[in-house]
């Protein structure tokens, strides 16, 4: 089955269901125009596009399995970041949120930055500096990312994050907010359904960290490279990234070892922020609470 046949099958199922295209598109977290392009074979759907459409159509388990497998065979794709910026990064965040909502085990490996699900708002801004986003687009993107983080509080789901130590030391934002970001890592790692491992610089490296990636169960992998995001549902590809995750997991610190390392780096940032030449930052109690940070750690009266 090629993408034209797949789109035709999805359209026939929608027509048979009696559901309007705009209703299905809304339930599948996509625009009606995108659904139309998929149904007409003009746009190759990703696996999670197909899964969301089939969920919206409430098809049988057998039909869902058949068409999802067909999507897997044609769905290794790369989408340039410039396309996401043009269509709206907040929309892409909503697409990922829909996939995360259907995932019970999410594994993330990050040698580049703090994982998005664990970022505070100021860190999101730091990651996006130089991206040429308008202020409005940036605020929409931040809002969408923070809404994604709500899934972390679902105890029925398991989250495993691996982060290299170098990521914790890179100063994407001023020292006080880096300290706040590391505080959030410690706080979130204490939740029973979240495990955060730190790959220390002192550990013998089992391989090159290379790209960031996320594994959605054993059915889907998203890999980030400099100019694009790659999505694959090929089992052989997924197995490569699963093995890479296991390799780095074996040398990562978790639990008390992780807390001690992150706390020491956080304290270094706090000490650095108290230097005479350091520029003070001003944040309100509301801003810190919104970022999941204990305001008591900071002097807000200055």
Q: Distance (Å, rounded) from C-alpha 2 to C-alpha 9? A: 11
Q: Distance (Å, rounded) from C-alpha 242 to C-alpha 218? A: 8
* Alpha carbon distances (Å) from 285 to 117, 119, 150, 297, 300: 22, 18, 21, 11, 8
For the chain (302 residues), the mean pLDDT of every run of 10, in chain order, is 79 92 90 90 80 90 84 66 74 82 93 95 89 85 91 95 96 94 96 97 90 90 84 84 96 96 95 68 58 55 43
What pLDDT does residue 19 have? 93
What pLDDT does residue 3 have? 64
Q: Are 120 and 293 in contact (CB under 8 A)?
A: yes
**Domain ranges (residues) in the chain:** 3-75, 79-296
79-296, CATH topology level: Endonuclease; Chain A (3.30.870)
Query: What's the angle, vertex CA 263, arms to CA 262 and CA 266, rounded to 5?
Result: 85
Q: Which CATH number fits domain 3-75: 3.40.50.620, 1.10.260.40, 3.30.1360.120, 3.40.50.2020?
A: 1.10.260.40
Give the residue from 300, 290, 288 showing the smallest Cα distance to 180: 288
DSSP code, position 133: -
C-alpha dihedral, 130 to 89 to 149 to 152, nearest 10°: -110
Q: Are 164 and 102 in contact (CB under 8 A)?
A: no
Pairing of strands 105-110, 194-199: unpaired
Q: Are 167 and 114 in contact (CB under 8 A)?
A: yes
What pLDDT does residue 197 have? 97
Q: Distance (Å, rounded) from C-alpha 247 to C-alpha 48? A: 27
What pLDDT does residue 243 have? 96
DSSP code, position 40: T
* Alpha carbon distances (Å) from 80 to 48, 256, 278: 18, 39, 38
What pLDDT does residue 162 have? 98
Q: Distance (Å, rounded) from C-alpha 201 to C-alpha 174? A: 22
What pLDDT does residue 141 have? 87
Q: Are 181 and 113 in contact (CB under 8 A)?
A: no
3-state helix, strand, coil in the chain (%, to 5): 55, 15, 30
Give the residue from 211, 128, 123, 125 showing the smallest Cα distance to 162: 211
What pLDDT does residue 184 have? 96
The pTM of this model reads 0.70
* Backbone CA torsion sign across 121, 124, 128, 132: negative
* Alpha carbon distances (Å) from 199 to 74, 162, 220, 244: 35, 7, 24, 13
Q: How many CB atoms lie within 10 A of CB 189?
A: 19
What pLDDT does residue 105 have? 96
């Amino acid at each position: 089955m090629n993408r034209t046949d797949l789109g035709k099958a999805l359209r026939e199922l929608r027509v048979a269901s009696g559901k309007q295209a705009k209703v299905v598109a809304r339930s599948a977290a996509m625009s009606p125009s995108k659904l139309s392009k998929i149904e007409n074979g003009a746009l190759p759907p990703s696996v999670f596009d197909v899964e969301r459409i089939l969920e919206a159509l409430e098809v049988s388990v057998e039909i869902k399995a058949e068409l999802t497998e067909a999507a897997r065979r044609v769905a290794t794709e790369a989408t340039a970041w410039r396309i996401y910026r043009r269509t709206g990064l907040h929309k892409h965040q909503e697409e990922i949120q829909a996939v995360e909502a259907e995932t019970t085990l999410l594994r993330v490996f990050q040698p580049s930055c703090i994982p998005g699900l664990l970022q505070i708002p100021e860190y999101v801004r730091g990651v996006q500096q130089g991206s040429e986003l308008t202020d409005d687009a940036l605020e929409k993107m931040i809002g969408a990312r923070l809404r994604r983080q709500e899934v972390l509080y679902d105890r029925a789901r398991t989250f495993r994050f691996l982060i290299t130590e170098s990521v914790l030391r890179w100063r994407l934002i001023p020292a006080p907010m880096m300290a706040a970001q590391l505080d959030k890592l410690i706080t979130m790692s204490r939740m029973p359904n979240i495990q955060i491992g730190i790959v220390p610089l002192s550990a013998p490296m089992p391989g090159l960290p290379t790209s960031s990636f996320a594994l959605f169960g054993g059915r889907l992998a998203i890999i980030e490279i400099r100019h694009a995001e790659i999505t694959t549902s090929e089992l052989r590809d997924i197995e490569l990234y699963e093995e890479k995750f296991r390799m780095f997991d074996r040398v990562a610190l978790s639990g008390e070892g992780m807390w001690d390392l992150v706390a020491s780096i956080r304290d270094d940032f706090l000490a650095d922020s108290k230097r005479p030449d350091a520029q003070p930052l001003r944040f309100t109690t509301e801003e810190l609470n919104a970022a999941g940070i204990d305001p008591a750690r900071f002097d807000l009266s200055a």
